[in-house]
């Protein structure tokens, strides 16, 4: 957007706005660039002309809580400019952004000599911004506490679960050796795979709560991985009257196969919940896009409710009427991003939902 069109200048008379614009410096900021650090001197405020900036507060030695985002036509950093305090947050460009720097001194000079209405308008906007930040900060702190408790619980469960799961797995191996028919062999394979998956799921909860993943990458055929997914989940899908259609491409991907299976499971199980008792269809397709592989999980259900679309991948957000932790999509997103990929959703009410995963090809 043009500098003259930014909402910040609407607070001032045209002649005053023109004077302020003369001292503005416009900068293009690459993605992931730190614009300022928490605790730095507040010597200017910034106007966002394009892109998106994240404002986050230190929550630990190397961790930050996201407090707010500033997008096109927003401005940030004004609080320290007004009261002279140090920066209360870190500002990082989420994507390539264009920002305009307005120095503190001319802003204060204008406010000292301008009408009361202008000052009130500026302070009202600042107060509204502070109220929004307070709400988001409290939400972020509560979420962090929940994740901490989740991690402690997952650690305890893993400790208590390993021995009985190991016993079940060994028993299935023994049965497999005693009975060599194909049906028993298949059932024992399912038991062993599902026991391993139970342990892996709890370990992933623990990793998710800590914000780190240990990936065991290997080059894997996508078609074979999807066939494995179908094998492991066929009984569940039959019980829920869900038809699964696979449309893979002949391509290899360098991923942690078990974790990608977990992502697909979360997406397909969410679709099954949305379809409820109705006969439903879930299609998993794939295509090559440039140097990436794009996987699509599409259902013919009711679609994503509008009230949760904007926070679909945040922890503890769910549209289920009962049950559900609201962690499935958040875990899926964190696993995909740990692989250097991204995930997004496209949905219209009554027309189903489609989740897309974009992962680097091998």
Average pLDDT over residues 339-361: 89
pLDDT at 121: 73
Highest-confidence range of 12-21, 29-38, 56-65, 250-259, by mean pLDDT?
A: 29-38
pLDDT at 193: 78
pLDDT in tens, 296-324: 999 988 888 877 777 788 877 666 555 55
96-105, 164-173, 215-224: the lowest-pLDDT one: 164-173
pLDDT at 15: 87
Tokens of 26: 């416009």
pLDDT at 134: 66
* Secondary-structure class of domain 3-114 per CATH: mainly beta
Instruction: Confirm if 287 and 294 have CB atoms less than 8 A apart.
Output: yes
Checking if the pLDDT of 294 tops 90, the result is yes
Query: How far is CA 184 from each of CA 29, 172, 188, 192, 234, rounded to the nearest angstrom?
Result: 61, 9, 6, 12, 16
pLDDT at 47: 94
**Fold equal for 3-114 and 218-360:** no
Checking if the pLDDT of 290 tops 90, the result is no
Checking if the pLDDT of 147 tops 80, the result is no
Residue 336 burial by Cβ neighbours in a 10 Å radius (0-12, 13-18, 19+): buried
Checking if the pLDDT of 60 tops 80, the result is no
Checking if the pLDDT of 141 tops 70, the result is no
Which CATH fold topology does 218-360 show? Heat Shock Protein 90 (3.30.565)
pLDDT at 348: 80
Checking if the pLDDT of 207 tops 70, the result is yes
The domain segmentation of the chain, as residue ranges, is 3-114, 142-210, 218-360
What is the pTM (predicted TM-score) of this model?
0.56
Checking if the pLDDT of 160 tops 80, the result is no
pLDDT at 29: 95
Average pLDDT over residues 169-175: 87
């Amino acid at each position: 957007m043009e500098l003259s069109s930014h909402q910040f200048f609407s607070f001032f008379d045209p002649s005053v706005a023109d004077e302020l614009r003369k001292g503005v410096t416009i900068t293009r900021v690459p993605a992931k660039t730190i614009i300022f650090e928490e605790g730095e001197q507040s010597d200017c405020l910034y106007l966002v002309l394009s892109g998106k900036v994240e404002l986050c507060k230190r929550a630990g030695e190397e961790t930050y809580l996201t407090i707010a985002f500033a997008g096109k036509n927003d401005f940030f950093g004004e609080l320290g400019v007004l009261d002279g305090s140090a920066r209360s947050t870190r500002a990082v460009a989420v994507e390539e952004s264009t920002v305009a720097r307005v120095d503190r001194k001319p802003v204060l000079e204008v406010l000292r000599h301008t009408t009361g209405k202008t000052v009130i308008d500026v302070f009202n906007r600042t107060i509204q911004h502070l109220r929004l930040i307070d709400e988001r900060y409290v939400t972020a702190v509560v979420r962090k506490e929940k994740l901490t408790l989740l991690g402690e619980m997952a650690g305890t469960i893993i400790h208590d679960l390993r021995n009985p799961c190991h016993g079940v797995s060994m028993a299935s191996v023994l049965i497999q050796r005693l009975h060599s028919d194909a049906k028993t062999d298949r059932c024992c394979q399912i038991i062993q795979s599902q026991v391993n998956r139970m342990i892996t799921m709890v370990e992933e909860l623990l990793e998710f709560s800590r914000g780190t993943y240990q990936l065991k990458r290997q080059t894997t055929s996508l078609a074979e991985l999807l066939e494995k997914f179908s094998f492991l989940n066929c009984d569940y899908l039959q019980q829920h009257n869900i038809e699964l259609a696979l449309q893979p491409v002949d391509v290899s991907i360098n991923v942690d196969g078990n974790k990608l299976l977990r992502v697909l499971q979360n997406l397909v199980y969410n679709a099954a919940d949305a379809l409820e008792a109705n006969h439903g269809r879930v299609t998993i397709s794939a295509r090559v896009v440039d140097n990436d592989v794009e996987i699509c999980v599409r259902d013919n259900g009711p679609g994503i409710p509008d009230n949760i679309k904007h926070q679909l991948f945040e922890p503890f957000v769910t549209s289920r009427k009962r049950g559900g932790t609201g962690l499935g999509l958040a875990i899926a997103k964190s696993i995909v991003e740990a692989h250097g990929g991204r995930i997004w959703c496209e949905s219209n009410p009554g027309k189903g939902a489609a989740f897309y995963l974009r992962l680097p090809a091998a």
